[in-house]
Structure 1
Amino acid sequence: MVFRSHDDFVEEIISFDDFGKTTVLTPFEWDVNGRKGLTVKAVNEYWTSGQRQANSLHEISYRACFKAQLPEFFISRLSKPGDGVYDPFMGRGTTPLQARLMNRRPMGNDINPLSQVLLAPRLNPPTIEQIAERLDSIDLSKTIEVYDDLLHFYHKDTLREIIALKEYLLRKEENQTIDNIDAWIRMVAINRLTGHSAGFFSVYSLPPNQAVSIKRQIKINEKRNQIPEYRAIKPRILKKSRSLLKDWNRAEIGQKTDTTRGILSTADSRKVSEMPNDSAVLVVTSPPFLDVVDYQGDNWLRCWFIGVDSGNINISQHRKITEWEKSMTDVLCDLKRIVIPGGYIAFEVGEVRGGEILLEEHVLRCGVRAGLEPIIIMINQQQFTKTANAWGVINAQKGTNTHRIVLFKNSSNETL
């Protein structure tokens, strides 16, 4: 369904009962530079919290990413096939990938170059036969780089294979001969670097979306009395590739419109010049929540594999809410330029600092300053999944069981 007016969308949100729950409404009064208004907060369960309910191509790990059901909810209601759907903080690329799967034009940006490496090959995947043939052709017997500290994660022969693959891919990139098959292999290898099962290259470590430091891995090894065993990387890349591709149907996805002509960029989200004016109908995004997640530290090993020093990536992490608001206002001003008049921006945040700071209220004010019209605040509330429980997170305490989305409409040309 595609709503012709935001009133239709709001009406559905208020009456929503797909999971047997009634929407709870509370008013939020706001005042921004003398402009006053009232926006409703609607609390319900709007999409499932179940694991692996989306297309298998989404099943790569990344720190603090939302499930595909979130962008799917808005894409299905507020855009149509062929429309541009954009995320300025794309992370692993959930929004642009879901847009691609729904025959929209994927548009994504992230200041971390790792994001584009993770997303691009999944927009137009190779076949499993192409992947297997390419893997067979890559020589993993010789390396130049020496990085003995990584022997706390890997058996020496596994580490040799990882470095050999890294050097092969960097040579292809330098020579501008890297193709989508190589890019796919790189993406999958990144997602197999560390983890807590035999499907990963490393000895037991933390879940794959968060690479621990070398010092921390030494402690894990000592506590578990473990020594890295040899794990061949090619069969693990191939196995994960089969898993990712199991739901992919090129003919079905591509039959309605050409959605491979997406736009991907690596820029500061406050000014993404690669994104043309009036090029997106819908934005679905989630920015860093103040300084809650250390994206640089968590991705150090993945960035090493693609030849990037994560410490040199200027990812915004603000401790003060005033600094965060200024940054988000700038982001929303740029989104106003990119989104067509009448288009929508679904801006997702979470509770932080034990619920003391309700970021959705701050985001709403930022959007009003940027000249956007707040339509509704949706709070998707649900029980934790086994993933959150594995981290020892308790419902309603750390906030990861709620998605708090402010929906804006680009209704005018004014800014405050």
Structure 2
Amino acid sequence: MELQEFDWSDIIWKTNKKRWINSLHAMCSYLAMFPPSLPNYLIKQFSQPGEVVFDPFSGRGTAPLEACLNGRIGIGNDLSPLARILTGAKVNVPQLQNVTRRINQLEDNYTYTDVLNVEPNIKMLYDEEVTLPQLVYLKNNLKIKNKVDQFIMGSLLGIMHGKIRKDGTSMYLSISMPNTFSMSPNYIRNYIEKNNINKIKNDVFEALRYKVNLLYKEKSNNYVKGKAYGFDAMKINYNRRIFKENYIDLIITSPPYLQVINYGTYNWIRLWMLNNIYDSEEINEKLKSNKVYTINRELKLKDELRLKEYLEFMKEVILGWERILKEDGMAFVIIGDVSNYNNKYIKLAEEVWKYAKNYTSLKLIDIIEDKIDTKTKVTKIWGNKKRGEATKIDRILILSKGNGRMPNYTTNIRDHFSYFYK
């Protein structure tokens, strides 16, 4: 099907986004996340209850959670251990009473934990009399393979750092700093010295109970349990123990952006909490290496990634979808434009399709533009210079296996989808 022109000026996931925010989405903030209203809308339009929705780059689990909340089987995958835990906690939510009971049990069994050997970069963030010893205790005692402990860990990661209120109180555990990402240690150290910042003494168990109760504020009677994995985005497509052929109904995903983010660097505090399984540099390297079967070499996914390597990586990911998508399955791929790549402006979604179309049997339905409000972007706090490097326009690459699906028309904007099957 040839690309169709269409006016998406009244995009439903922007105009109705507040209506679709479930409290579980607020477990932990995350860089480069799309609004829950986007997968909510696509899931309702292009899938039925009980069907399978997959996000191979799941981040904090927004798309898989929306699938689960709407009676679909949400499956998320991400190489980052932080993303894997957040997705896993959201697609396998335990009962609130079980979470509360476990927090109380941990508190009852708590004994002061020495923080002498904790690295200085962590010590400068937390009160060493109450808060940090409790964090180290939980770090050593939470078993994240258990779904209750995984949920508690995901909740704890969400309050590891954030801003202090004007009255000096905070639901977060650290000195005042952004809750979305970890500032660099040197920046934080200089900021503390310059502004004479004091640590706050927060009881972690009390803060956890408060956070957890907020997450269970809204319930969904349609919730269906999903799954979370931590595989390479290409390799999982060929893992027959996970995906049979023609298994996935809908793919909704946002791959790593070109020339924007090092996920390990900006999550070093939360990664410390994950029992030192990985440090930030290990995460950066882990996310950069993706084995490509057809060319038998390592591709590098990083801030200054060469365009050709990114396109080759995305081509291989898309080829894997041919096996796992059902005969009428569809994929919605959100890819940000790159405004300053070798002094060029690149519509990356269009470049991905130009590169992949001669290799894949998947069909192009459309590529639509989704402008981003830069005033609300997390990266605005870096100032105008950095803000100019951030993605200002997302494009949604829409692919189908076979002829794809007619939308369910669950909203009052039927005309917005009439162009799909002219």
TM over 0.5: yes
CA RMSD of aligned residues (A): 2.5
Unmatched runs of 5 consecutive residues or more in structure 1: 1-5, 7-36
Identity %: 27
Q: Shift in Å at residue 166 of structure 1?
A: 0.5
Task: Write the deviation string for residues 144-166 of structure 1: whole angstroms up to 9, x where unpaired.
Answer: 66214112111102111101110
Distance 1:269 1:109 in 2: 7
1:301 matched to which residue of 2? 269
1:373 matches 2:359: no
Given that 1:194 and 1:200 are in contact with CA atoms closer than 8 Å, whether structure 2 keeps it comes out as yes
Q: Match for residue 123 of structure 2?
A: 151
Which whole-Å CA distance do the structure 1 matches of 2:10 and 2:157 have between them?
33
- Any idea what SS the aligned residue of 1:77 has? helix
Task: Give 2:411's aligned residue.
Answer: none
Residue of 141, 158, 174 corresponding to 1:168: 141
Helix, strand or coil at the partner of 1:137 = helix
Task: Give the total of aligned pairs.
Answer: 363
Matched, 1:209 2:199: no
* C-alpha contact (below 8 Å) 2:260/2:390 kept by paired residues: no
Stretch moving more, 352-361 or 384-393: 384-393
Larger displacement relative to structure 2 (193-202 or 396-405):
396-405
Cα deviation for residue 228 of structure 1 reads 1.1
Q: 376-385 vs 68-77, which deviates more?
A: 376-385
Residue aligning to 1:253: 222
Shift of 1:122: 2.1
Give 2:230's aligned residue.
266
From 36, 50, 54, the counterpart of 1:68: 36
Q: Distance in 2 between matches of 1:290 and 1:160?
A: 39
Matched residue type, 1:336: E
Letter of the 2:69 counterpart: L
Which residue of 188, 199, 202 maps to 2:155?
Answer: 188
Q: Structure 2: which 5+ runs fail to align?
A: 165-169, 289-300, 404-422
Match of 1:362 in 2: 351
Q: How far apart are residue 393 of structure 1 and its match? A: 5.9
Per-residue deviation, 1:266? 1.0
Q: 1:411 matched to which residue of 2?
A: 402
Superposed counterparts of 1:10-409, under 5 Å: 38-40=3-5, 42-46=7-11, 47-48=13-14, 53-59=20-26, 60-138=28-106, 139-143=109-113, 146-149=117-120, 150-157=122-129, 158-169=131-142, 172=143, 179-197=146-164, 198-205=170-177, 207-249=178-220, 252-254=221-223, 259-260=224-225, 262-272=226-236, 273=239, 274-307=242-275, 308-309=277-278, 310-313=280-283, 314-316=286-288, 317-318=301-302, 319-354=305-340, 356-368=345-357, 369-381=359-371, 383-384=373-374, 386-388=376-378, 389-390=380-381, 392=383, 397-398=388-389, 400-409=391-400
Contact in 1 for aligned 2:61/2:90 (Cα 8 Å) = no
- Report the AA paired with residue 264 of structure 1: A
The CA deviation string for residues 330-384 of structure 1, in whole angstroms up to 9 with x for no partner, is: 1111112111122100010112234711111112224413222110111123534
Given the two structures, how large is their TM-score scaled by the length of structure 2?
Answer: 0.79
The AA in structure 2 aligned to 1:361 is E
Write the letter of the residue equivalent to 2:313. S
Q: Which amino acid aligns with 1:236?
A: A
Q: Where do 4+ consecutive residues of structure 1 move more than 6 Å?
A: none
Q: Alpha-carbon deviation of 1:38?
A: 4.5
What residue number does 2:291 align with? none
After superposition, give the CA deviation of every residue in 1:116-152 in whole Å (9 maximum; x if it has no partner): 2112222233344333322222133333662141121
Report the Cα distance in structure 2 between the residues aligned to 1:373 and 1:350, rounded to whole angstroms. Answer: 21
C-alpha deviations, 1:34-79, integer Å up to 9, x for none? xxx6554654241227568511111120111111111112111111
Q: Distance in 2 between matches of 1:52 and 1:216?
A: 37
Q: Which residue identity is paired with 1:199?
A: M
1:277-336 CA deviation, whole Å, 9 max, x = no partner?
211111000011123101111122222211221433311324211110000001111112
Counterparts of 2:76 and 2:268, CA distance in 1: 22
Question: Are 1:41 and 1:377, in contact at CA under 8 Å, matched by a contact in 2?
Answer: no
Question: 2:365, 2:398 within 8 Å by CA — same for their partners in 1?
Answer: yes
**For the structure 1 residues 183 and 320, does the alpha-carbon distance in structure 2 shift closer, same or farther, using more than 3 Å as the test?**
same
Alignment-mate amino acid for residue 245 of structure 2: N
Q: Normalising by the residue count of structure 1, what TM-score does the alignment of the two structures yield?
A: 0.80
3-state SS of 2:162 partner: coil
Distance 1:81 1:392 in 2: 44
CA contact under 8 A between 1:85 and 1:107: conserved in structure 2? yes
Q: In 2, distance between residues paired with 1:92 and 1:367?
A: 27
Conserved 8 A contact 2:84-2:229: yes
